[in-house]
A and B are shown apart, each in its own frame.
Chain A
Amino acid sequence: MGRIDINREFNKIQTPVISFNNVSKKYNTGTDALSNVSFNIFKGEFVFIVGDSGSGKTTLIKLILKETLPSSGKVFVVGHETKRLRRKTVARFRRSIGVVFQDFRLLKDRDVFENVAFAQRVIEAEPHTLRHKVSKVLNLVGLSDKARALPKELSGGQQQKVAMARALVNNPIIMLADEPTGNLDPNSSREIMRLLDDINKRGTTVVVVTHNQEIVDEMQKRVIVLKDGKIVRDEAKGTYDAVRKEAKEEFE
């Protein structure tokens, strides 16, 4: 435990991989999705983002990816202020971020291998590097034997693992997951979370948006809680909601 804390302290002197400085986001419909949000995420951290529906979690992810820009405040990701990234460099910037969605988003007409290899083709990888890396990540997610299967021949959990392999194959600095277990049963959900934890232990910074209370409480990771677009809690070994935490502390 102590070692992890030292790492955390050490990290704080480094520049964060993700940094929000007083960020507000108002959509042009007039909705205030985020108001004055500030936080830092350092290299190697594992962070859960939780909160009610509509609290601004996906908006936060979109801001990290430069899919949308803040109305005010600054978003820094891997050393770039997203607002100042030019259109031409966005592609390269996105290669440092792996993204996983609730609905997997695999190409239905291509097998597992090709779905993962796709990410390597996009970055114009050498054929032999491609083969090597794809088998490596497939091995990591435990799907080496399914390389020639089509997505429809896989369970939801397996499909999400393919999506994770795809997000991982280009060695991203950050892994973003927006409700990766939203469509999965409890067992598969645990497996996916364990895999995210594995990936994190290998050095990738992981940010997970989730509604899965039990898992958040079990995993004892940093938890940022959003409510109506504001950060209401940001705790090192946090829990899904405040009541539970109090109950837990009393119990301990």
Chain B
Amino acid sequence: MKHLRTLGYCIKQGFSGLWKNRLFSLASIATVMACLTLIGTFYFVYLNVENALLKAESSVGMTVFFNEGVEEDRIKEIKSKLEKVEEISEVRYISADEAWEKYKKENMTEEMAASFGDDNPLKESASLEIHLKNGESGKNVADSIRDVSGVRTVNFSETVSERLSDIRALIIAVATVLIGMLAAVSFFLIRTTIATGINVRKEEISIMSIIGATDLFMELPFIVEGIFIGLLGGLIPLLILNYSYTIVENALKREFGNAFENFNLLPKSEVMGGFLPVALLFTVGIGFLASWITAMGKVRKIAVEHF
């Protein structure tokens, strides 16, 4: 009860400090906001781009062609072996006839196709179409299939999965530097804000300490101030991001309808649910740390200079 009342008093003092020092407080909140908005936008775009790329990729897969004279039985044997490989989700046998039909359909007019009659120029072109569970393993899988006897070639577009892991590393590096810089800027601005607040209340702190206030009692109002800066700086951009996500989601739906599934964003709850707690912990953490460190140093200095 006693401590609850004191906490109440300190919170009140914290808010009054925030208000008295509102120019700096506002600047700090704005910086934290900018920081989180940037991080959030970056993160959401990244998640969705990655998701779209992965979706696109899983439909690409790879195709295995065989040497001339390899029997259908041998191909089927290879197929059943491949089906047991962990990285592979599906293997489909494409017979020479199927391949020819497909080729005709995609590349020839009916007249042209008819001129071939019953001849199948691709009669040696039975193949296996492989779908992977995850794009990253593609290169390794393709390499090991190339070593299987009877295999002529493996058509595998390395672009998506290869590039994706390169891009991911790059994005993580850029994001880390960016987040680090923004966090540092926020941290120092909050420190400045709190330091200014402490200077304004120097006399009060000096009196408190001579009366016998504990360190915590003197520091708490400033820590409350810092936490609140972090909280507001975090909550406002989260609301903005939440709202903008819906807007972008709806706009994409309107533009592309359901024609291309790839243009649909990840569900908001999934994206937000993961981001919100981490983001708040991040901003409140910065506010807390910056104000705590500042208050501890400055308040204690004032508390020993009364004469």
Contact = CB atoms under 8 A, between A and B. Distances in A.
A118 B215 CA distance: 16
A93 B6 CA distance: 20
A11 to B, nearest CB: 26
Interface in A77-116: 87-88, 91-95, 99, 101, 105, 107
A123 B306 contact: no
B281 interface: no
B9 interface: yes
B307 A58 contact: yes
B213 A99 contact: no
B171 interface: no
B211 A170 contact: yes
A178 interface: yes
A105 B211 contact: no
A118 B211 contact: yes
Interface string B209-231: 11111110100000000000000
B208 interface: yes
Given A105-B206, A107-B204, A124-B2, A65 B215 contact: no
B304 A166 contact: no
B307 A122 contact: no
Contact of B210 (A92, A94, A126): A94
A100 to B, nearest CB: 10
Contacts of A165: none
> Is chain B's binding surface mostly helix, strand, loop or mixed?
helix
Nearest to A127: B5
A95 B213 CA distance: 8
B203 interface: yes
B211 A178 contact: no
Nearest to B5: A124
A170 B207 contact: no
A85 to B, nearest CB: 12
B81 interface: no
A119 interface: yes
A248 interface: no
B211 A95 contact: yes
A91 B6 contact: no
A67 B213 contact: no
Contacts of B254: none
Contacts of B206: 105
Contact of B211 (A61, A101, A122): A122
Contacts of A131: none
Contact of B3 (A87, A88, A94, A124): A124
Contact of A91 (B9, B215, B306, B307): B215
Contacts of B203: 105, 107
Nearest to B204: A107
B231 to A, nearest CB: 25
A38 to B, nearest CB: 22
Given A99-B306, A124-B2, A178-B307, A65 B212 contact: no
A101 B206 CA distance: 12
Which residue of A67, A107, A122, A124 has the most chain B CB atoms within 10 A of its CB atom? A122
A62 B2 CA distance: 31
A99 B208 CA distance: 11
B307 A94 contact: no
Interface in B246-289: none
A92 B3 CA distance: 16
A170 B212 contact: yes
A121 interface: yes
A88 B213 CA distance: 11
B212 A122 contact: yes
B181 to A, nearest CB: 36
Contacts of A121: 6, 9
A62 B304 CA distance: 10
B306 A122 contact: no
A67 B306 contact: yes
Contacts of B9: 121
26 contacts: A58-B307, A61-B307, A62-B307, A67-B307, A91-B213, A91-B217, A93-B212, A94-B209, A94-B210, A95-B211, A99-B210, A99-B306, A107-B207, A118-B208, A118-B211, A119-B211, A121-B6, A121-B9, A122-B217, A123-B211, A123-B212, A124-B3, A126-B2, A166-B211, A170-B211, A178-B307
Given A87-B215, A119-B211, A123-B212, 11 more contacts: A67-B305, A88-B214, A91-B213, A91-B217, A93-B212, A107-B207, A121-B9, A124-B5, A166-B211, A170-B212, A178-B307
